[in-house]
Structure 1
Amino acid sequence: MFHKATKDLAKQLAPDGDLLPVSSLIDQDRFRPLYLVRRKPKRFWMIHHRYYKTGFRLSDILVPGQDSRNLDVQDSHSITVEDCTDGRVEWTIKLPEDFVSTEVTVAASTSQVKSIKVKRAEVSPADLVFLQERKINMDHSFIKDLRKRRENLYVVNEAVQALEETKLQKVNTMEGTILNEIYVRFSLKGTRGSKRVIVIPTDCVLAFRIKPLIIQSESWGISHHPDEETFAADGVTVDSGYSPDGGMGDLEREVEKECAELSQLSTDLRAKFLKSIIAVIINSDLLQELTLKLEEAFEDADKCELKSENPDLEDLLNNLQDSEGSINLDLVGPVLYTLQALGELTEDQLLRLAQSVEKQIVSKQLALVKSILKQDFHLKDAFSLDAKLVSSLQEEELNITKAMIGLGGVTLQRNGPSFTGTGDLAAFSALSALYVALYALHLLSRSD
């Protein structure tokens, strides 16, 4: 719920996408100005890069200096975000004249905030230049580890913070919708009329902007090019993942490798894992919670504890570790891979995915999506689909499938007895994430 609210806020304040939402309320303090964040190479089916907290400030990795100058973090005028609820949420963004002279109103989901005032805090450019007089401590364990992993490093130069304590509410009152039907069918929490409240504290960081940190020997600087690499001077470039030019072959090899451990699970464990995955598909808050938890486990298994107060995650987390609490990274990896793919899908796609599992049509959808991904997305012409793959789906099943694929950017059309599809390169990445999710669900839902 918190992440959805921050994503909506960031999107409205900065439609160009350079304002990044904070994903976790508990970690928000690590995204203040002058804190460092890192970015891992993304897989080609990921639409957005993922940024992770480090817990370090820029000054922590610099050789100690003799200066006593206080760094200046400048605050802007306050920004008021209001909503009006009448069956759906309407967000109205009003900005001061010296920020952006516009007013935007947009429909949101069932997440509701009566009113939230935020401010923009940014680092003085002069302070960043002043800090460059101090060298990077290349012997710092964090820098050594980062260099070994070839991960890029960024410094937060601007943050959007809550000006006062605010209550964020989520109310599920969507009677007669697909959402409630799925909630009822799977007997999960979140039925009609349910309400959740999160209190956003004063000065809570909701979104942030970053600048790449470029390190050359002991010297460093700030880049204005978002994709510039931190350790480019080493002469090694970071592999950003598979290229769409590789087509379906690369994707098949990747997903088979990443999900291999899931195929080895017993029937009992597959059922338990599937139950938890369905729970996070339906509940985006659980999806966010579990993803962050497993990312933390994958980064430092010795310091991470896999626990959750939610019973829907209990079986999964218990089976990702032994009786002494040692985490099985061989299992955490494919589960996290699946969750990251699910995180790339829209809420509507996730709901239809849950329906597909219930109707036991995942294997048919997997074959259909695979056939679509084999098409040449460089061409704008429509492509033909295997009639057998489409005819294997009943009318309702086909409607669910068409809607789910359509939300990924590929349109399916009936031409007499046959079907054709149209899509572009952007759709390739979006549909690839759906393929990953379908592949994992197919493995977990097998009865053999």
Structure 2
Amino acid sequence: MFSTATRNFVEEIDDGSLIPVSSLIDSDKLVPLSLVVKRKRFWIWQKPKYLPTDFTLSDVLTGDTPLTPVVVKTDFLKYQGTFGDNKSGNFESNLVAVNLKVEGKDTSKLQSSFGSLKKEEVDVQKLLRDSKDKLLDMSHCLMQQTREKTREVFGVVKERIVTTQPCSVIEEVQQGGQLEELLSFCGPKSTQVSVKENSSLHKDSNVSLEIPAHTVIAYCIIELEIKLNGHYELCLMSDTLGGFEVDGPVKKSLVGVPGAHDDTPKKSCFQRELEKLSGHFQLLSVLSAVTRSSLLQLLKTTMEDREAVSVLESVLDQMCTGKTADLGEVKEANQMQTVQAILDLLEHSDSSPTPSLLSDS
């Protein structure tokens, strides 16, 4: 509920740089210059996942002199929003001896009242000066664990949006369904027997969440480009990506930071992302035209439904980590059918002699 409210807030007021806080537990971790792990997801359409840590940038530096950021606080805005969603559907089947009719309706309303908000922003110019002679402790356990995973990069909290007073998030949900069944059959001596059954289900819920003052609801990070020797650079431009330097010649350098040199041709962010995904496109290219067309059509249908995308992401994450896909929590029948159809196509590719689409390569 809290994550839905913060996501709605970010979608209404930001163009893409702000990250919604997904859990109240993470709020206390998101102090200025705290470290956040940005995890790139496996599938093309998935947004990165952001994991706040218990460490700040100073905690993973060598030496005894911590960074002392200057934080500028300003009034941001006053926010109150109400979002509603209505879903309904019906299914009717007429067979030889059975008539079945199913109807369902789901109505929800989410009201968020964050009140007056403040923006806290780190002085980046001072951070650049203070970082000039600093080195990261590459033996720190957090550095080593993150470096081992090629999809993860570090970022530091540059900006955050904070509540100034107690506020609330209220969610009202109404769910209802009806099942009507008519069974007809012939008994002895051509006697016709009919059995009719009606059943209905109705469920209401009203949940109120009280949020304390000084709660972080959204934040912004600067990614870090980390060298093998522990030097780091701040990725100030939106199309400059962070990460760990690999063994061998440096393939790219930071743009916009004093002392950095760029001797390689510039590539757009889009081009770099396409190069990283070339292996996935190669797997798609070996599929038959019919399978490829069916898969892309199913993905297109899924992406039109936010809940279906979340379900598919969860199921695929389970499969990519070696777990059995669990569709038991899927409520909507059409979502389950679409996701199951995608899984069937992927499993078909898994049984072919070509590399599986489910392998994490």
TM-score class, shorter-chain normalisation, is 0.5 to 0.7
Contact 1:44 1:240 in 2 (8 A): no
Contact 1:41 1:240 in 2 (8 A): no
Pairs within 5 Å for 1:150-229: 150=150, 151-173=152-174, 180-181=176-177, 192-216=203-227, 217-223=229-235, 224-226=237-239, 228-229=241-242
Pairs within 5 Å for 1:261-276: none
| 1:256-298 per-position Cα deviation (integer Å, ceiling 9, x unaligned) | xxxxxxxxxxxxxxxxxxxxxxxxx79x9xx8xxx7xxx9xxx
Question: How far apart are the structure 1 equivalents of 2:207 and 2:138?
Answer: 46
1:345 aligns to what? none
2:50 aligns to what? 51
Pairs within 5 Å for 1:43-442: 43-66=42-65, 70-83=68-81, 110-132=109-131, 133-150=133-150, 151-173=152-174, 180-181=176-177, 192-216=203-227, 217-223=229-235, 224-226=237-239, 228-235=241-248, 243-244=280-281, 246-247=283-284, 333-334=322-323, 352=332, 354-355=333-334, 357=336, 365-366=341-342
Question: 1:368 and 1:140, CA in 2 relative to 1: closer, same or farther beyond 3 A?
Answer: closer
Following TM superposition, by how much is the alpha carbon of 1:158 offset from its aligned partner in structure 2, in angstroms? 0.7
Contact 2:32 2:69 in 1 (8 A): no
Question: How far apart are the structure 2 equivalents of 1:8 and 1:114?
Answer: 12
Residue 18 (str. 1) matches residue 31 (str. 2): no
Contact 1:172 1:191 in 2 (8 A): no
Question: How far apart are the structure 2 equivalents of 1:232 and 1:207?
Answer: 29
Question: How far apart are the structure 2 equivalents of 1:208 and 1:160?
Answer: 6
Contact 1:21 1:207 in 2 (8 A): yes
Unaligned 5+ segments in structure 2 are: 87-106, 179-200, 252-272, 292-306, 350-356
Contact 2:80 2:111 in 1 (8 A): no
- Give SS of 2:283's match: helix
Question: How far apart are the structure 2 equivalents of 1:172 and 1:195?
Answer: 7
TM-score (norm 2): 0.58
Question: How far apart are the structure 1 equivalents of 2:34 and 2:156?
Answer: 6
The residue type equivalent to 1:143 in the other structure is M
TM-score (norm 1): 0.48
Question: 1:63 and 1:367, CA in 2 relative to 1: closer, same or farther beyond 3 A?
Answer: closer
Question: 1:46 and 1:130, CA in 2 relative to 1: closer, same or farther beyond 3 A?
Answer: same
Normalized per residue, the structure richer in helix is: 1
Following TM superposition, by how much is the alpha carbon of 1:117 offset from its aligned partner in structure 2, in angstroms? 2.1
Contact 2:117 2:162 in 1 (8 A): yes
Following TM superposition, by how much is the alpha carbon of 1:211 offset from its aligned partner in structure 2, in angstroms? 1.0
How many residue pairs were aligned? Answer: 257
2:4 aligns to what? 4
Following TM superposition, by how much is the alpha carbon of 1:197 offset from its aligned partner in structure 2, in angstroms? 1.5
Runs of 4 or more above 6 Å deviation: 236-239, 329-332, 367-370
Which structure has the greater CA radius of gyration?
2
- How large is the Cα RMSD of the aligned pairs? 4.3
Normalized per residue, the structure richer in strand is: 2
The residue type equivalent to 2:222 in the other structure is K
| Percent identical | 22
- Give SS of 1:194's match: strand
The residue type equivalent to 2:34 in the other structure is Y
